[in-house]
Amino acid sequence: MKKNKILNYLGCVMFIIPVFNSCTNKENSMQNPFFTEHNQEINFKVITKDDVTEATKIAVETSKSDLQKIYAVDSNQRNFENTMLELDNMYNRLVKVNEVISLLAYVHPNDEIRNECLNSITELGKYFNEIALSEELYNAVKDYSKTSEAKSLDSFKKKYLTETVEEFERNGFALPKEKRGELKIIQDKLSDLGIQFESNISSYQDSLIVTEEQVNGLPDDYKKEYKTADGNYKISLEYPSFVPFMKYSTSDEARKELSRKYKNKAADKNLDILKQILIEREKMARLLGYTTYAEYRTENRMAKNPKNVWEFETELQKKVRKKAEIDYSELIEIKRKYKKDESINSIESWEASFYDNILLKEKYELDNQRLKEYFEVNHVIDGLFQITQHLYGLTFVEIKNPNVWHDDVRCFEVKENEEMIARFYLDLYPRPNKYGHAAMFGMFPGKRIGNEYQLPTASLVCNFPKATGEMPALMLHDDVVTFFHEFGHLMHDLLTKSELYAQSGTNVARDFVEMPSQIFENWAWDYDALKLFAKHYKTNEILPKELHDKMIASRNVGSGLYTLQQIFYGTLDLTYHDKYDPNGAKSTTDVVKELQNEITFYKYQDDTYFEAGFGHLNGYAAGYYSYLWAKVFSEDMFSVFRQNGVMDKETGIRLRKTVLEKGSTRDELEIVKEFLGREPGQEAFLKSIGL
């Protein structure tokens, strides 16, 4: 997941060395760790709560000063440099602070700093809304768009100007002034609600205490990690704890209860917040002249309108249902055999992972615990680095003793021909109050500043198993795939060559942003790639070919069921934003129950409120469909590697130059066509799931 923290900023936008316009700001910034010399890393170790507060204040004051400079330009003197480039520079400076503070709000171990960061991103979110509704700024850009220079623009500059004007008008500048004030109130409220929604999910803590009998089936290293002083086991809702328990515990009762707890994450607070979010989004869309919020959101994406998304979801559902029926029948047979009961004809959601694992072991002879022994986390990191460096012509160099926010965090420089071109951080292991999933957090975007290029910087935040005193950290293959996925986002952000922040890295259409991450998952499956790092943690033996053959044979086990689940998520999101009345009698949970029972083979679990913990409803509002949408493109593009060789460096460089470096400097569909050398199609995707 690309962690999108930018709310509804004007255009697309991201990071630069701050240039301050008052002595006070300049003096303060020199002492504040959020502000560094050009392309120098931040010293995260020394950051305090007061630094967060001060950095927020300085960033806003500097932005206001920058805007005054833009406003002061005479309408007859406007040009790209003093209007559009200055606008991009202003956002770049402001977002630099916002992005880093947003990261720390989810990962910093200090409660006080983390809470102050949440306060700051709330304040900054409101300020971004204020900018987006600035009539002076709109008039400045609109005035420039009427000049002869503006009318003669081409390439990325023309695209930037066009999209900036369109975004202003999507932000209400077709509205009377009093209506724009009403819109700002709605946007500010949505900013607050969204931050609360995500914070409630990330800070939510619950666990299940289970007995020795209920951890039967779990590996010894898992039991050691979660055993409590009284001889029981405390199973949390974090992935390294939750996922193996659901997969291996023989206790149906315990799995059912843990599933119930997981699906009730943040339900005590977020049900009401979600309802308010949906109400405010609907009000915003109607105010702007759109029938639904989904219509507003899809307008500037590859899909263009909700109708195309509904067709995509509906047609895909039809195509994969037959495969899902086969998958479900396989699980039924396994459950009948396990329970010794031929009358069984259903699988519950909390049973699916358990019987899927048995199916893999018995029918496909794939033992995930044995497979895990070949994926020690440091070997995986080394292999991931080797593959990326080879394909894209890069070198990664670790910074020793980096100034990071937690001792687990590592920092790396990205080099090409000995020149540093980017920097990234790895924060891979779980800890209390840390963001609970896996995501790439942008920090400093790529951007040309005069004759120099600003180094893109980003972080990978994950929650993989951590080594203990007796056992190294061993990753499930699913975790390896997740790691490759997030690293794909990272490379998209870091390898950008965009002149402008607005078009840099992952600042692309939301239904395209998952393509570079999903294509990179394929290297976690290919044997030539796996041989580089899949080594037994004790013997250093390379993953045996026979075990890899079983991996491949089992790859599409459950692929139909999985795809239907993704269609359910996308349809739920789209329904909330296109065909649902949040003020009506039907609750958000009623919609979950109805759609889950209609689309998937796993029936709704009573007394659960999944939507309260479905964080994508905030960040991906009316956009969750983009995972499958982008997957179709990514599989089509990976077919080029299948033809030329998965480790073919020439094709890797072409992917880098044609796709990763471009950001949104060109239309995303044209980028896809250029890489493919043809029109895109669905055949590669359907083949990839066994159809």
Active site residues: 486
Task: Measure the CA–CA gap between 299 and 189, rounded to whole angstroms.
Answer: 23
- Contact in structure between 408 and 44 (CB atoms under 8 Å): no
Residue 375 carries which DSSP code? B
**DSSP-assigned letters across all residues of 54-112:** HHHHHHHHHHHHHHHHHHHS-GGG--IIIIIIHHHHHHHHHHHHHHHHHHHHHH-S-HH
Using CA atoms, how far apart are residues 375 and 322, in angstroms rounded to an integer? 33
Q: Report the distance separating Cα 625 and Cα 306, nearest Å.
A: 10
Residue 386 amino acid letter: Q
Phi and psi dihedrals of 275, rounded to 5?
A: -60, -45
Residues 6+ apart with CB under 8 A from 521: 481, 484, 485, 488
Q: At 360, which amino acid appears?
A: L
Helix (H) or strand (E) holding 209: strand 207-210
Q: Where are the alpha helices (DSSP H) in 204-300?
A: 220-226, 239-248, 252-262, 267-287, 293-298
- Residue 639 in tokens: 């077919």
Helices (H) and strands (E) counted in the chain, each on its own, are 28, 10
Q: Are strands 419-427 and 457-461 parallel, antiparallel or unpaired?
A: parallel
Alpha carbon 153 to its chain's center: 33
User: Counting every residue, how long is the chain?
Assistant: 691
Q: Which residues contact 646 (CB under 8 A, 6 or more apart)?
A: 522, 523, 526, 528, 529
Q: Residue 288: name the closest of 209, 384, 280 by CA.
A: 280
Residue 443 sits at φ, ψ, to 5 deg, of: -125, -70
What are the residues whose beta carbons fall under 8 Å from the beta carbon of 15, sequence distance 6 or more? Answer: 92, 93, 95, 96, 99, 443, 444, 445, 447, 454, 456, 457, 501
Identify any residues that bridge with 412 across adjacent strands, giving them in sequence order: 398, 424
* Two structure tokens written together for 381: 């990191």
Contact predicate 463/478, CB 8 Å: no
Query: Which tokens go with 427?
Result: 């924060």
Report the distance separating Cα 287 and Cα 265, nearest Å.
33
**In sequence order, what E strands does 381-526 have?**
395-398, 410-416, 419-427, 439-444, 447-449, 452-454, 457-461
Q: Tell me if 194 sits within 8 A of 312, measured CB to CB.
A: no
| DSSP β-bridge partners for residue 2 | 440
Question: What would the two tokens of residue 109 be?
Answer: 């171990």
Query: Are the CB atoms for 573 and 623 separated by under 8 Å?
Result: yes
Identify which of 689, 680, 686, 667 has the alpha carbon closest to the alpha carbon of residue 155: 667
Contact between 549 and 371 under an 8 Å Cβ cutoff? The reply is no
Going by C-alpha positions, the residue among 316, 258, 293 that lies closest to residue 599 is: 316
> Which structure tokens are listed for 239?
């992935």
Angle at 632 between CA 630 and CA 633, to 5 degrees: 65
**Secondary structure class of 396 (helix, strand, coil):** strand
